[in-house]
Amino acid sequence: MTSGDWAVLADLRCELGECPVWDEASARLHLVDIDDRRLWALDPAAGTASGATCDRPVTALVPRADGGWLGVSGRDIGTLDPDDGTFQPLLSLPGPPDLALNDAVCGRDGNLYVGSIDRTRAERAALYVVEPDLNHRVLGGHVGASNGVDTSPDGRLLYHADSFADTVTAYGPDGRPVAAVRVEHPDGIAVDADGGVWVASWGSGMVFRYTPDLAPDRTLRLPAPLVTNMSFGGPGYRWIFVTTARSDGAELSGAVFTADVGVAGLPAARFAVQR
């Protein structure tokens, strides 16, 4: 698939577009521009975009089972109002004070997975698992830059990207690695209905699809170099939505792209906060 096969859903010119999530009830794609502190809601049918300014930088969006949203900001996980951008902390995760949380997802097992990033590259970051009652533990340490994370459709496998290690790893039910693949600057991850693992590659303008055991399957090239994340949505979840970041000299950098890639995704799992 080449760069010309993509449609521009919205040319938002995001400084750092991230974490697209399709909301089936409203038929809208929600995402965040981390550096510009903006929440966006895109209506593909109407061709409209609405936004709100966050009161603090938000790095990830997670839908809640009660219909609201969770956000990740700094070391905190909290509720997020998409209409006015208000963030209310629920939980602060432990770790060195100069580390911040990054990407997050609700897994098919009902747990929230969220990782941190260590910009010193000293591998002090970690991947955490947060249960619905907000009890939490470190799932994996010695991480440089925890980025994309998602689970297999049955919730038994966990896929995790470490951007500084240029590696995507699959973990089994016992938490041990069962497969790994080297990817240039892996960013976001999305798993489709067939168990295929889609990985955004920051800097290459590529999205890669791997089989469930992380064997290479497909390569998609986009018309923007800084590809950040992706998710599935639209009718039958057959459209993939890809976020990007701004890059000098790339006209469509910061836009949100979409295409029918011939495989269906799954609705985003919703975190059932018991508090």
Annotated active-site residue 187? The verdict is: yes
Helix (H), strand (E) counts: the chain: 0, 24
Query: For residue 161, is pLDDT > 60?
Result: yes
Q: Which two tokens stand for residue 70?
A: 């969770």
Residue 97, pLDDT score: 85
pLDDT digits (tens, 9 = 90+) for 97-114: 889 999 999 999 999 999
Cα distance between residue 210 and residue 230, in whole Å: 14
Cα distance between residue 65 and residue 113, in whole Å: 16
Q: How confident is the model at residue 1 (pLDDT cuts 50, 70, 90)?
A: low
139 against 35, higher pLDDT: 35
Q: Half-sphere exposure of residue 191, counting CA atoms within 13 Å on the CB side? A: 28
Residue list, annotated binding site: 18, 102, 147, 187
Q: Which two tokens stand for residue 38?
A: 């903006």
Q: Which of 118, 150, 187, 192 is catalytic?
A: 187
Closest CA to 230 of 171, 189, 262: 189
Residue 155, pLDDT score: 96
Residue list, annotated binding site for a divalent metal cation: 18, 147, 187
Helix, coil or strand: residue 76: strand
Check: CB of residue 227 under 8 Å from CB of residue 255: no
Residue 142, pLDDT score: 85
Check: CB of residue 233 under 8 Å from CB of residue 161: no
Closest CA to 70 of 46, 44, 39, 24: 39
pLDDT digits (tens, 9 = 90+) for 70-88: 999 999 999 999 999 999 9
Check: CB of residue 7 under 8 Å from CB of residue 240: no
Extents of the domains making up the chain: 3-260
Tally Cβ neighbours within 10 Å of residue 21.
21
Residue 119, pLDDT score: 83
Closest CA to 47 of 27, 69, 21: 27
CATH of domain 3-260: 2.120.10.30
- The single residue listed with the structure tokens 């799992």 is 269
